[in-house]
Amino acid sequence: MIKPHGSDALNPLYLSDESARKALTEEAKSLPSILVNSAAAANAVMLAGGYFNPLTGYMNLADSLAVSEKMTTTDGLFFPVPVVNRVESSEGIEIGSRIALLDPNVEGNPAVAVMEVEGIDVANDDQINTMTEQVYGTLDANHPGVATFQAAGNVFLSGPIQVLNFSYFKTDFPDTFRTAVEIREEIASMGWEKVVAFQTRNPMHRAHEELCRMAMDSLGADGCVIHMLLGKLKAGDIPADVRDAAIRKMAELYFPPNSTLITGYGFDMLYAGPREAVLHALFRQNMGATHLIVGRDHAGVGDYYGAFDAQTIFDEVPEDAMDIEIFKADHTAYSKKLNKVVMMRDAPDHSKEDFVLLSGTKVREMLGKGEALPGEFARPEVAQILMDYYQALDAS
């Protein structure tokens, strides 16, 4: 199986020993505590599951600046985005102390992790702006990722963590949430060697379904891990439970048995386009995938990135930085001429009118009205799940 990033074996930061975890959970109640933001809590969950291997905790300001500028930490570790715990104030926290990190996303704000504070750095506004522009490619406050990043505090708390739980992800998505450790174990149990990963924050329509098949066929892959984001999204995106149901129905009815794994991970979407595509590749390597499908406008939002910037950024990644390979995909749609889903680049004799193309706005409008989507665009069983959601939304 493919090696994890940066080490021979995964180093998940979840404290798996039950007695030790119970003892630390109890101790956390007496430690100084701080309510972290949702992004920091999601970072803890990703560190817990081994997705951010080989990191042992949150980055300091120097590493965050270095990663933002050149995708490496100050000691040369390749990493595409800063993994940070930013707060408004460090009052009452001292270097060398141990603190409890309280989860903002779970009722009662229980401790999600215990952190050993190795650094307390205060970034100035110029440094925050520099990191924002380098990671997101823009300072436009209308960009949802930029707005979230800019709103976090300027104080960087850095140091190793021990994670006590997986926030709300295991309880809310017990059949779908998986750590990188668990996915590696599932891949091994299936006997898969060449494994394609498909990232999604949306339901999967016919084009996405066929894209997974195209990648598996082209690469001779043993299987595909459909890996959906389960964390926070921007307003208007379809909730994770609806996406989960739609994707599971599609896989159940239209993929051969034992050819896909339907899984999810606990992370808040960055909408960072090219940089986030590289992050997606890194943590897919950690979960055991040998290839990641990177399509048109991967991890993008609005018109902030070029259609294929998320592919060309991999030309800037040093050859020895990661072992995972990228399957570069074009926009995929149903061809009326060929009566099948194709990548547009493979149909140079087609005009736009030769494809079944629907905008997201049009799809939402049709589903809200109870109108069936074309069978060439969406499987009817998937469309029904989405229709039920949008009609309930309109009725409320």
Write the CB contacts of 79 (distance below 8 Å, at least 6 apart in sequence): 55, 67, 71, 72, 73, 282
- Mean pLDDT across the stretch 64-72? 98
Q: Say if 9 falls within a structural domain.
A: no
Asked if 147 and 213 sit in the same domain, the reply is no
Q: Are residues 250 and 381 in the same domain?
A: yes
pLDDT value, residue 184: 98
pLDDT at 235: 78
B/e letters for 170-187, b = 16+ CB within 10 Å, e = fewer, are: eebbeebbbbbbebbebb
DSSP, res 292 = E
Do 40 and 153 touch, CB atoms closer than 8 A?
no
Same domain membership, residue 32 and residue 57: yes
131 and 186 assigned to the same domain: no
Whether residues 278 and 318 share a domain: the answer is yes
Active site residue 243: no
Catalytic-role residue among 21, 201, 213, 364: 201
14 DSSP 8-state letter: B
d(CA 43, CA 167): 11
165 is annotated as an active-site residue: no
Q: Are residues 126 and 39 in the same domain?
A: yes
Say if residue 2 is exposed, middle or buried (CB neighbours under 10 Å; 0-12, 13-18, 19+). buried
Q: Which two tokens stand for residue 191?
A: 């006997």
Q: Do residue 186 and residue 335 come from a single domain?
A: yes
pLDDT at 269: 93
Q: Which domain range does residue 81 map to?
A: 18-167
Answer yes or no: is 154 within a domain: yes
Q: What is the mean pLDDT of residues 72-97?
A: 97
- Choice among 21, 109, 202, 364 that is catalytic: 202
Q: Into how many domains does the chain fold?
A: 2
Evaluate if residue 396 carries a pLDDT over 80.
no
Of 146, 167, 188, which residue constitutes the final position of a domain? 167
pTM listed for this prediction: 0.95
Last residue of a domain, one of 167, 199, 234: 167
Q: Are residues 120 and 180 in the same domain?
A: no
With contact defined as beta carbons under 8 Å apart, do 166 and 266 qualify? yes
- With cut-offs at 50, 70 and 90, classify the pLDDT of residue 365: confident
**98 and 217 assigned to the same domain:** no
Question: How confident is the model over 45-65, as a mean pLDDT?
Answer: 98
Cα–Cα distance measured from residue 208 to residue 317, given in angstroms and rounded to the nearest whole number:
26
Flag whether pLDDT at 395 surpasses 80.
no
On whether both 137 and 198 belong to a single domain, the answer is no
Give the DSSP H/E element, type plus range, for residue 387. helix 380-395
Which pLDDT belongs to residue 372? Answer: 87
4-33 tens-digit pLDDT: 999 999 999 999 999 999 999 999 999 999
Asked if 168 and 174 count as a contact pair (C-beta separation under 8 A), the reply is no
